Amino acid sequence: MRLSQLDLDQQLKLLFNELIEIECDFPGDLRVARGALGEINVVVIGFDFSLYGGSIGVREAGQLRAAIRIAKKSKFPLVMLLNTGGVRVTEGAKSLAAFRFLYRELLEAKLDGLPVLSLVMRHCYGGGSMLAAISDMVLVNAGSQIAMSGPKLIKALNKDFDHDSVTLDDIQGVLSGVSRAKTSSRFQLIHDYEKAYQLVMYRFLSSRQKLTMSNISFLNELKHRFPDKRLVRSERQHNEKTTHPMINFDEIGGLTNWSGKSTLLVLNNHIDEGMAVYALAADYFADAEAILDLTSAINALSNSVLSIKILIACSSHSPNLSDERLLLSEYLSTLAICLRQKHAKGAHVHVVVLRPTGGGIFAALSAAASEVSMLKTGSIQVLPSSALDLMHWKDDELIGVNQLVTAQVVDNIIDDLSSVMS
């Protein structure tokens, strides 16, 4: 039988020897253990899809953070067996805050040089795909599925794909391990048997091979995934009369470069003052191209820029199949890494939520940020409203403004933009 079709206990026993479970302060539904692959010691995290879809709630995030710390302290590589639907929606604001700090912990560990290896067993969606995308190497099989949004959600939210010519099978083909291995240099397709996994894992771990490229190299890879091999956006210079329905430019002042399809705004009038200001502004979603635009701009900033402000004025990451075809989670994780690197070099990264938002774009930005603020008119949800509607989620189960600071989803609530632009 294929390894991915076995239960988690069987997978762990077949892959590792000397498996010793680690007790966490707040035990959850994940398996955390010290293990060995031959003579190589590792810290293992296993997701059990039979328990709440392998979702990440507060306790599970705590287990993951504990495992990361143990791996760092012991200098053991971290190995994740991913089979998850992402953040646990039923826990609302608490799970979103828990994932924010979990992802930050993993970002910090990666920047400190912790080797991270992920095995995508079957399903890996949402926040789970972001965990995979930050890994040095991701092993997938022909039955693996990885995406920021699940196939049914992509089908339902894509107006362009409501016709009969595009089926769920077509979408699943785009999200499959076969497709992902062709898309990303970080993903490797292997046969779905324990010996195949063990061989590749052993080669990686024994050599401590680091497959993560430099920011510039990987940004170029992300850019060249687009069908025409180039970004199609063009920068347009605007005068002081620039307007945007979601942003009051009088509160931030000055000239603005407007890049692209009204999605990425580069508000560079403060650059000489050591401040760089950007906005992801769209009626609906931030797509892969806008995220790449923003990441490239941030990566190019000199170390003299000590204040980076990012305004979120979009509802979520894009659920479009065209963006998932590019492997959207890698665009989000690369953005988070670049921002956290700037933070490590002394820059204050301030994320400001202007309107209702959520999903992967908020998860990536909030985890990487030094500070997260939100206008009183904003709100944050685990998933965009359109997705929650499809899940028949009740309004009283959504995240209210009063919960956000207490739950540490955001750090503070502000009255207007002018208060954060100094």
| DSSP 8-class letter at 247 | B
Name which residue leads in pLDDT, 388 or 200. 200
* pLDDT at 230 exceeding the cut of 60: no
What are the pLDDT digits (tens) for 116-137? 999 999 999 999 999 999 999 9
> CA 240, CA 254: separation in Å to the nearest integer?
6
Helix (H, G, I), strand (E, B) or coil at 52: helix
Looking at residues 270-285, what average pLDDT do you find? Answer: 80
Helices (H), 212-320: 215-224, 288-299
> CA 299, CA 143: separation in Å to the nearest integer?
35
Q: Give pLDDT, residue 255.
A: 43
Q: Give pLDDT, residue 420.
A: 81
**Do the Cβ atoms of 128 and 56 come closer than 8 Å?**
yes
Containing 11, the helix (H) or strand (E) segment is helix 8-15
418 — pLDDT class (breaks 50, 70, 90) = confident
Looking at residues 65-91, what average pLDDT do you find? Answer: 94
Which are the contacts of 384, defined by CB distance < 8 A and separation ≥ 6? Answer: 285, 315, 316, 319, 358, 359
List the beta strands (DSSP E) in 7-77: 17-21, 31-37, 40-46
What are the pLDDT digits (tens) for 329-373? 999 999 999 999 999 999 999 999 988 898 999 999 999 999 999
97 — pLDDT class (breaks 50, 70, 90) = very high
**Do the Cβ atoms of 276 and 270 come closer than 8 Å?**
yes
* pLDDT at 90 exceeding the cut of 90: no
Tell me the one-letter amino acid at 211: L
**Domain 3-212, what fold?**
2-enoyl-CoA Hydratase; Chain A, domain 1 (3.90.226)
Looking at residues 44-59, what average pLDDT do you find? Answer: 93
* pLDDT at 391 exceeding the cut of 70: no
Name which residue leads in pLDDT, 273 or 209. 273
229 — pLDDT class (breaks 50, 70, 90) = very low
**Do the Cβ atoms of 301 and 348 come closer than 8 Å?**
no
> What average pLDDT is seen over the chain?
85
* pLDDT at 233 exceeding the cut of 60: no
Q: Which of 38, 37, 56 is nearest to 46 (CA)?
A: 56
Name which residue leads in pLDDT, 20 or 196. 196
105 — pLDDT class (breaks 50, 70, 90) = very high
Q: Which of 23-27, 59-63, 157-161, 209-213 has the lowest mean pLDDT?
A: 209-213
Q: Which of 14-28, 224-238, 308-322 has the lowest mean pLDDT?
A: 224-238
User: What CATH number matches the domain at 222-420, 3.30.70.890, 3.40.50.300, 3.40.50.720, 3.90.226.10?
Assistant: 3.90.226.10
CATH 3.90.226.10 residue ranges for the chain? 3-212, 222-420
